[in-house]
Structure 1
Amino acid sequence: MSVAERLRASLVLPPPADLLAMEADLLPGEFRDAAVLVAVTDRPEPGVLLTTRRADLRAHPGQVAFPGGKVDRWDADATAAALREAEEEIALPASAVEVWGTADPFRTGTGFHITPVLGLVPADLPLVPHEGEVADWFEPPLAFVLDPANQREEEAMFRGKLRRYHVIEWEGRRIWGVTAALIVNLSRRMGWR
């Protein structure tokens, strides 16, 4: 079974006990719903599509992220929001995504309740970054980012508290914070140790 097939099959399993959770100083009703698209490319060695946010953005400038954003009131659900955001951010047509389902939600320290939406996309789509939001996009190998050997823990002060977070380095790109946490949770969901 390929790594992409293992990832898809893991979506029907109950959540593992060791999922990462962000410590947040908010009550459940204070979180805003958001969704990201974990787009796995359909190739013999699948990749996953990630974006680099523009350096001049007010929120999370220059950070690596999955395509995604807030769930708007007109979105039918988290899946619709993730597909809409991916189309807006990198011109990924919603019709090109074979949606597999959703993975474990993640609450961020900045007040978002993020639902990862997983799906398969054709390889080598002519993706175009949105000039106002995305500096570029890239496709690391899925097996590389999911491998715990490539995921390390670091710590830093955030809002007066020492916080631990994960980092994945790939070809000079630094995947960290919530994006890395979502990847680590997918690894744990697959039982990849």
Structure 2
Amino acid sequence: MTEAELRRRLPPGLAHNCLAAAENRPAAVLIPLEPERGVWLTRRSAQMPNHAGQVSFPGGKIERGDASAEAAALREAREEVGLDPAVAEVLGRMDDFITGTGFHITPVVALVPRGVRFRADPGEVQEVFCLPFATLLDPAAPRRRKVFWRGMEQDFVVWPHEAHVIWGATAKILLDLALRLRGAR
């Protein structure tokens, strides 16, 4: 997907739903899109206190000193993967998401330059990898799975990747992104 296509499908002022935070912990994630390549994701370090070893977007808690969710997402991306905020062009936000673990996530979409290089902080990130646009645009993706949890059948989505299991909040945010890129939302 070219930069022009991304800008057309994700125009500035991206429409999104904001949710009231209530008792949930506010967090922001950056959705870094590299034209003609895909979306960048991380595998969290096994030492992380929350969601250790899981696939996620760069991001984390919104701190008191952060001017906005966008500022928090860019700060966290700098800390976790060494992304210079000056090279990330924020396009807007996607729908807020509340996790079952008590986080209120604000997803922030940004374009990053072709050939962007990341430098993972080993204390927070085990690996940085790209999910290609071809996967996001594939109408057969993601796959739906069912599991029994706490005595109930739960339905969830899993994105195909040869080396990683992409599920949970990350998978749902990716689904929202994919629907927007496919023109279905």
TM-score of the superposed pair, with normalisation by structure 1? 0.83
- For 1:9, the aligned partner's letter is P
1:48–1:14 CA distance, 2 compared to 1 (3 A):
closer
Contact 1:34/1:69 (8 A) holds in 2:
yes
Query: Structure 1: where are the runs of 5+ without partners?
Result: 16-26
The residue aligned with 1:95 is 86
Query: Structure 2: where are the runs of 5+ without partners?
Result: none
User: What SS is found at the alignment partner of 1:170?
Assistant: coil
C-alpha displacement at 1:62, in angstroms? Answer: 1.3
Measure the CA separation in 1 of the matches of 2:150 and 2:139.
Answer: 28
The residue aligned with 2:112 is 121
Contact 1:10/1:189 (8 A) holds in 2:
no
Measure the CA separation in 2 of the matches of 1:30 and 1:14.
Answer: 21
TM-score of the superposed pair, with normalisation by structure 2? 0.86
The residue aligned with 2:179 is 188
Contact 2:94/2:108 (8 A) holds in 1:
yes
Contact 1:50/1:66 (8 A) holds in 2:
yes
Measure the CA separation in 2 of the matches of 1:46 and 1:151.
Answer: 18
The residue aligned with 2:28 is 35
Measure the CA separation in 1 of the matches of 2:75 and 2:120.
Answer: 14
User: What SS is found at the alignment partner of 1:157?
Assistant: strand
Q: Which moved more, 1:88-97 or 1:149-158?
A: 149-158
1:158–1:77 CA distance, 2 compared to 1 (3 A):
farther
1:192–1:128 CA distance, 2 compared to 1 (3 A):
same
Measure the CA separation in 2 of the matches of 1:176 and 1:6.
Answer: 27
Computed over aligned residues only, the root mean square deviation of the Cα atoms, in angstroms, reads: 2.3
Contact 2:12/2:91 (8 A) holds in 1:
no
Contact 2:33/2:109 (8 A) holds in 1:
yes
| Percent of paired sites with the same residue | 44
C-alpha displacement at 1:172, in angstroms? Answer: 2.2
Contact 2:59/2:72 (8 A) holds in 1:
yes
